[in-house]
Every structure is written in C-alpha cells, then in structure tokens.
C-alpha cells in the first residue's frame, strides 16, 4: 500500500543526501522514480553538501504535482515513487496533490524538508505535510550550534546580523554570518532566541525613530487657510 512519508530536519542534517540515496537505490532496482525540488542550490537538480547531485523536476508555484505524475504514468506505463526535496517551499495545495498521488495513483511519495523557517515558525508547506503524512520522521543526525549545543533552529543573517523579518523564500549560502550578503546558520534554541530578541529590538528602535521624527507634524497645514474678517485689525493710514 502506497504511503506519504515526510522526513524533516535542520539544515545540514542530510535531508537531500537521504533523498538522493532513496532515488539511487530505487533506480538501481529498475524502478521508475520522479525526483523534484524547489530553490535548491543548483537549478534543476537536487544537490547534497557532500557533493552528490541528480537531475530533478523543478517545482514552480503553478506546478500541479498530481498531473505531473499522472502524465508520466500515461507515457511510461508506471511510476513507482516520487521523491520530493525542499518540500517546505511547496505550496500547501501542492502537498495535497502529493497526497492524491498516494491515494489515487497508488504511488509512494518520499518528502523531505525543513521544519521551521528563519522566523522560528513552521513553513506553510511543512505544516501541511505534517497534517497529511502517513509517516513523519525526524532525521537524527544532530547538527551543532557554535556553542556546541544541539542545533534546533535555522537562522538568517543579513550583513552578518541575525534577522527575523523579510521574505520567506530567500536563497543564501550556509556556514555562518558573512558581511554583505544573506547567509544561514544553525543555532541552538537559546542563541536563536537571543538573536531574535536583539533583531526585534533593533526593529523597534527604527520604528521609534520614525515616530520621533514625525512627532509634532500631526497638524495638516496643506489645506486652505480660513480667515475671520472680523478678527483682522483695521490698517493704519498715514496722514
């Protein structure tokens, strides 16, 4: 019986490596698989930080994954499995399409993704996968924070400073903060929260500065000035 399996972990925990391993093992047995990804480090491929990669279907915002698999089955006669990397970036409706692939086409789906974003919240795609999956597995490869504690949170840095606001989907290098570019790093909960508090505090300071600059400018002087003729003094005339 086909199943929808969702495997999640932090950056560097080996999600892409495991996806590629499953893809390789099934192909080695002569099975037909579809490998998909979105916003990988390499366009049109699933790539691992260990240097392994494979060609993949790129999932766009408009991609109908159910139709993609159904059409492939019509051309080839069968599809044995779909392996999906970077599922956190998939739209919730695309996660539902993967569930239909399992239920209506009887094809196994192996989905891999991050659990939380740089804001410390579930990705929309991840949340839907957790709700729909038959099996949910956390990768047990433990990444470490710079302090040596177990890393649990993905952090985004801009110009070397941790941020907690901005667009959800921004591709950047990993390995720690670097000035002048967007980068990502793994932190333990304590250091992620500490950085998040500082980032929110800096944002509040900017907002306070804007408020201070606008203080006293609430009166609108742009409209016409109304004058009471009776209040205008009579001009003196020289004699």
Q: What is the CA angle 185-206-169, rounded to 5? A: 35
Closest among 193, 185, 194, 195 to 144, alpha carbons compared: 185
Whether 86 sits among the annotated catalytic residues: the reply is yes
Assign 204 to helix, strand or coil. Answer: helix
Q: Which residues contact residue 134 at a Cβ distance below 8 angstroms, ignoring those fewer than 6 apart?
A: 3, 4, 5, 102
Q: Distance (Å, rounded) from C-alpha 53 to C-alpha 205? A: 44
8 A C-beta contact, residue 79 and residue 107: yes
Q: Which of 57, 60, 86, 121 is catalytic?
A: 86
Helix (H) or strand (E) holding 112: strand 108-114
User: Which pair of structure tokens corresponds to residue 232?
Assistant: 């205008």
Q: Distance (Å, rounded) from C-alpha 23 to C-alpha 35? A: 7
From residue 135, alpha-carbon distances to 4, 48, 126, 130 in Å are 7, 23, 13, 9
User: Which pair of structure tokens corresponds to residue 227?
Assistant: 């004058």
User: Which pair of structure tokens corresponds to residue 31?
Assistant: 């099975």
User: Which DSSP category does 200 fall into?
Assistant: H
Catalytically active residues, by annotation: 86
């Amino acid at each position: 019986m086909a199943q929808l399996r969702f495997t999640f972990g932090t950056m560097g925990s080996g999600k892409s490596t495991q996806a590629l391993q499953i893809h390789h093992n099934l192909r080695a047995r002569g099975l037909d698989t579809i490998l998909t990804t979105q916003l990988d480090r390499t366009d049109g491929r699933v790539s691992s930080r260990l240097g392994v990669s494979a060609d993949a279907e790129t999932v766009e915002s408009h991609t109908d994954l159910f139709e993609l698999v159904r059409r492939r089955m019509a051309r080839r006669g069968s599809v044995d499995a779909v392996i999906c990397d970077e599922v956190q970036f998939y739209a919730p409706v695309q996660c539902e399409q993967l569930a239909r692939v399992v239920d209506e086409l009887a094809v196994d789906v192996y989905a891999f993704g991050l659990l939380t974003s740089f804001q410390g919240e579930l990705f929309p795609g991840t949340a839907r996968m957790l709700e729909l999956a038959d099996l949910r597995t956390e990768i047990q490869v433990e990444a470490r924070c710079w302090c040596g504690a177990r890393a649990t949170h993905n952090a985004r840095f801009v110009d070397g400073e941790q941020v907690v606001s901005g667009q959800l989907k921004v591709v950047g290098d990993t390995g720690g903060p670097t000035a002048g570019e967007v980068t990502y790093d793994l932190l333990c909960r304590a250091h992620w929260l500490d950085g998040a508090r500082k980032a929110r505090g800096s944002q509040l300071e900017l907002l306070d500065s804007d408020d201070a600059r606008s203080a006293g400018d609430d009166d609108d002087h742009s409209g016409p000035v109304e004058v009471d003729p009776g209040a205008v003094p009579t001009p003196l005339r020289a004699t």
